[in-house]
Amino acid sequence: MQLTIEHLSKTYPNGTHALQDVSLTIPQGMFGLLGPNGAGKSTLMRTLATLQEADSGDVRLGDIDVLRQKDEVRRTLGYLPQEFGVYPKVSAEDLLDHFAVLKGITGRRERKEVVKALLEQTNLYEARKKKLGGFSGGMRQRFGIAVALLGNPRLIIVDEPTAGLDPAERVRFLNLLSELGESSVVLLSTHIVEDVSELCTRMAIIDRGEILLEAEPLGAIEEMRGRIWRSVIDKSALPAVEREHAVISTRLLAGRTVVHVHADAAPGPGFEPAEPDLEDVYFSAMAGRIGRRRGEPEVAA
């Protein structure tokens, strides 16, 4: 089973082109949708989750017409929105049980088993009697996943789930997601490059409503080999370097500025070859050095 998105477009009434002719093929496994704030990720997620309408395009999940057969999609969808409320005074077990009833799992014994299995899977069984108001951010996100997994969804959509999690919680949450990818289509939207590089087997980069690159992270990194050059300079030298070279990213290191430049051959003295990573892929796509925006006027990374 796979999710196929073709020529999806959406313009909001105020004229914002949130999605512009988006086409993607998303197979089983973890798929990362990476882009900066405002890129259109939530618009795409909400459209796939049948919560808002597109202007045009076609989306198929297996043989389901996602934009039209909304009830069929909802029956097989697990959606974790960017923000969701919980009842702070209710325990995890009781609230999950309540959502299970809403999902149509009415048999008491079956529901008990399902709730227990999901609490175990999301590592919340020990905390099942605890009130949700006392949960950490990571526990709350895992609870959100437990709710999303009710009814065995074949399509799981998670919108920016790692924002606000501490490093240990983030790793635990991402590991949980990657287990789900073994049997479902899992679509993860994020602005954090490491979320994608650590787990996704496929990815796309989106900016201003347009898909800039669709690739396998490892393959995309490999293609950058020999094209990323690094120089450590004083901040005051940056404007000159930017005038002469295709600077894709800059970052501070112990008070100096580390510059990454995209070039097919050595850019000159002061530069050394850099071991490419997914951040280089991301910034090269954003700067129009690779992918579908290639050749267009450069955008500051």
Residues of the shown chain interacting with ligand ADP in the complex, contacts defined by CB under 6 A: 12, 14, 16, 18, 35, 37-43
Measured from the CB atom, the residue of 41 and 289 that comes closer to ligand ADP is: 41
Report in angstroms how near the CB of residue 142 gets to ligand ADP at its nearest: 22
DSSP labels for 40-76? Answer: SHHHHHHHHTTSS--SEEEEEETTEETTT-HHHHHHT
Least distance to ligand ADP, CB of residue 34, Å: 10
Hey, what are 51's tokens? 């919560």
Backbone angles phi, psi at 232, to 5 degrees: -105, 120
Taking the chain, what is the end-to-end CA distance rounded to the nearest angstrom?
Answer: 36
Nearer to ligand ADP, 35 or 276 (CB): 35
How does strand 29-34 pair with strand 185-190?
Answer: parallel
When the beta carbons of 38 and 62 are compared against ligand ADP, the nearer one is: 38
At what angle are helices 167-180 and 137-148 packed, to 10 degrees? Answer: 10
- Give the residue with the Cβ less far from ligand ADP, 41 or 260: 41
Helix axes 137-148, 108-121, angle to 10 degrees: 140
* Minimum gap (Å) between residue 35 Cβ and ligand ADP: 5
Strands 77-80, 155-159: parallel, antiparallel or unpaired by DSSP?
A: parallel
Minimum CB–partner distance for residue 301 and ligand ADP (Å):
17
The nearer residue to ligand ADP, 14 or 106, going by C-beta atoms, is 14
Query: Smallest gap, in angstroms, from Cβ of residue 47 to ligand ADP?
Result: 9
Q: CA–CA distance from 289 to each of 10, 34, 265, 285, 286 (Å)?
A: 26, 17, 14, 6, 8
